Every structure is written in C-alpha cells, then in structure tokens.
Amino acid sequence: MQDCIFCKIIHREIPAEIIYETDNVLVFKDIRPAAPVHLLLIPKKHIPTFFELGPEDVMLMGELQTAAAEVARRLGLSNGFRLVSNIGRDAGQLVFHIHYHLLAGRELKWPPG
C-alpha cells in the first residue's frame, strides 16, 4: 500500500529496528517506546483494521500471535508482557495497518485508560 508507513518499513523504504521476520510477519521497535520493551508486530499483508479481517486471514493472524510468543521467548520476557491492538478511532489507532503492540520490561497498569 502506497502511503502506509508500515508497508514502507516492510519494503525497507524507511528504516526500523527489525527484531524478527518471517515470510508473513515483521516485528520491529516502536519509534516512541511506552515501555522498556515496545515492539510492533505486523502482518506483511496490508489490512487496515480488524474490521477488514476475513476467514482467509485466520492463519495469518495465528502466525502473528505465535510470532509474539516466539519473540517473548527469545527476549526472555518471563516476567510477562502485554499484547494489545488499538482498533479504530475510539481506541486511538493512528496507523491503519493492523498491528499488535508488545509491551514489557516494567509493571504494566490495568486498565490502560
């Protein structure tokens, strides 16, 4: 997708600190970290929000969550981590390419507000 910042990161058109990559997913550091560990997990397929997900995406979204598990193991996040997605305006979604935030490295308050 032209003009999608995350698609540009996938295609190496803008830089990012990439942590993990498969054929279908990419994990990189958030540019404005809200915790000592703050990663973004994205599918390489451009899907704007969860509202556009369909049955054809079941495997892909499973792979995305499994990537979170793999990254958490590799980084030794045994104290825990948070996996969240902001979906749509009320949740404060700013980038319209599906992503999970993986947050860790400090005690994370709940509810987030």
Which residues belong to the active site? 99
b/e map of 4-17 (b: 16 or more CB within 10 Å)? Answer: eebbbbbeeeeebe
Total length of the chain: 113
Work out whether 95 is an interface residue with ligand 5GP (CB under 6 A): yes
Pick from 41, 49, 45, 96: nearest CA to 71: 41
One residue of 92, 109, 110, 111 binding ligand 5GP per CB under 6 A:
92
- Identify the residue whose tokens are 């793999």: 70
Question: Cβ distance 47 to 53 under 8 Å?
Answer: yes
Which does residue 42 touch among ligand 5GP, Zn ion, none (CB within 5 to 8 A, set by kind)?
none
Give least dist CB 65 to Zn ion, A.
Answer: 19
Question: Cβ distance 40 to 30 under 8 Å?
Answer: yes
Work out whether 81 is an interface residue with ligand 5GP (CB under 6 A): no
Work out whether 49 is an interface residue with ligand 5GP (CB under 6 A): no
Which does residue 46 touch among ligand 5GP, Zn ion, none (CB within 5 to 8 A, set by kind)?
Zn ion
* Binding residues for ligand 5GP (CB under 6 A): 5, 14, 16, 28-32, 40, 86, 92-95
